[in-house]
Amino acid sequence: MSRMFRGAFILWVVLRYGLDELVLTSFRKPWLRVLARVVSVGRNLRAPRGQRLREALERLGPIFVKFGQVLSTRRDLLPADIADELARLQDRVPPFDSEVAIAIIERAFRRPVGEVFVSFERQPVASASIAQVHFAVARDRQGRAREVAVKVLRPGMLPAIEKDLSLMRMMAGWVGSLSADGRRLKPREVVAEFDKYLHDELDLVREAANAAQLRRNMAGLDLVLIPEMLWDFCHPEVMVMERMTGIPISQIDRLREAGVDTRQLARDGVTIFFTQVFRDGFFHADMHPGNIQVSVAPATFGRYISLDFGIVGTLTEFDKEYLAQNFTAFFRRDYKRVAELHIESGWVPPGTRVDELEAAVRSVCEPYFDRPLREISLGMVLMRLFQTSRRFHVEIQPQLVLLQKTLLNIEGLGRQLDPELDLWSTAKPFLEKWMLEQIGPQKLLDELKAQAPRYAKLLPDLPRLLHLYLQQRPTDQRQALEELLAEQRRTNKLLQGLIYGGIGFALGLVVMQFVIRVWVF
């Protein structure tokens, strides 16, 4: 019964804000078009469609607000006006009762809150769609009192999201079956992606692990501060971390009054992003201004402070290799190679014509080369490539969509701090060094190190394998010999690669550096 009432309320909000108009023109069933027009009588539909969608999601509650935030990252699927409007959704959600937060903490740690913390501030300092944050003082394992931030999951979130997700899946099926536009927007896939993100964010231990990994990766960079997790106080519903103090990065006037060099801050943000993406393949994927502060403490003055690690992106070696080759082809205006890379990766149907895809990529990229570098937005280039690729049925990879969304955030934030920010020249030294590592001798050595344990384990077993071979029947011997020869061929390939790599290193390093510096950049 509750699901029926919730479904009726959602339907009323959909009609009240005219969301049916988003797909009205593509209804193929005449009776549905007539019904939609009848229920549209008396509604005010003068507001833009993106604004109406955003207001409807806010009316439906925190789960739908979070859905809108995730949906805003799928610029490859949404029209630009809707994506821009959904990007305005903020985590300004009313806090829940502090007594409820205390009850959750006491249930998680099975003792009164006064025994868990030395002191606990009942008034929350921040409230979002998934959780809210309180300040407290806790004692660590050494008995030292430390100021901490306590993140508490909203009560009843799991049953609420399961109910709403079930309705979303049902609505996505309707949209996909009733509308040609709906099928193109892939509503089922979008809801499935939202399901994954939301369940990940509901496990605060997982978020704490993400933060710990980023903190470890960034330890030697000295550009960003990531709070330390107090693992003795971490639970799926409660996360306790080091309390961070800084100025929100959106308050640029306050930063300048404090003496922060905002131009250097913009360049540091680009360095942090490219380091996380291309060196580590593990990046903070929710870097909107609400999750970033700047330290003004004397010891860490001017460093970024990252918060909220519920959404992170990861890149495989294949992803990084794909990006490396695309960057190289893009800088050289080799649009045919960009098209070939899409086909080789299997992201477009095998029958796609290279020349047609090449022409589409050229139409996106070529106009940017006639502009000053500071006016070129790499995020916008990627976004337009995603949009252009729709008609070629390109399967956009979720991790690359997160990358593009994060890059747009970084560029927008960087140019607020420094309107003259030149993303390309700022990132050039890093990309140049990274590409040398991707195709240079260091890459060969890394591959050899990775394969060495396998062959070190195999070599001692060779006498035993030979003895077993000699004891087998002729038919079995033939099969075993074939397997042994195949393994020998693989070993020979590795040894040949080592020899040729050594020779190539001696002869080709200077040439390689020259080619990358002159041709690519």
> Residue 69's Cα: distance from chain center in Å?
13
Q: Do the beta carbons of residue 175 and residue 167 sit within 8 Å?
A: no
> Residue 419's Cα: distance from chain center in Å?
25
- The larger pLDDT score, comparing residue 113 to residue 482, is at 113
Which entry of 20, 91, 286, 422 is annotated as an active-site residue? Answer: 286
Alpha helices in 202-304 (DSSP H): 204-217, 252-257, 262-274
Active site residue 334: no
Q: Do the beta carbons of residue 54 and residue 64 sit within 8 Å?
A: no
Q: How far apart are CA 364 and CA 144, in angstroms?
A: 57
pLDDT tens figures, 162-199: 777 777 777 777 666 665 555 555 667 767 766 776 77
Q: Tokens 């309390």 — which residue?
A: 243
pLDDT, position 217? 95
Report the predicted TM-score, pTM, of the whole model to 2 decimal places: 0.70
Q: How does residue 109 score in pLDDT terms, banded at 50, 70 and 90?
A: very high
- The larger pLDDT score, comparing residue 102 to residue 142, is at 102
Concatenate the DSSP letters of all residues of 495-507 into one string: HHHHHHHHHHHHH
Q: How does residue 514 score in pLDDT terms, banded at 50, 70 and 90?
A: very low
Q: How far apart are CA 174 and CA 171, in angstroms?
A: 5
pLDDT tens figures, 324-366: 677 667 767 788 888 888 777 776 777 788 888 888 888 877 7
Alpha helices in 218-301 (DSSP H): 252-257, 262-274
- Give 98's contacts (C-beta < 8 A, 6+ positions apart): 122, 123, 124, 134
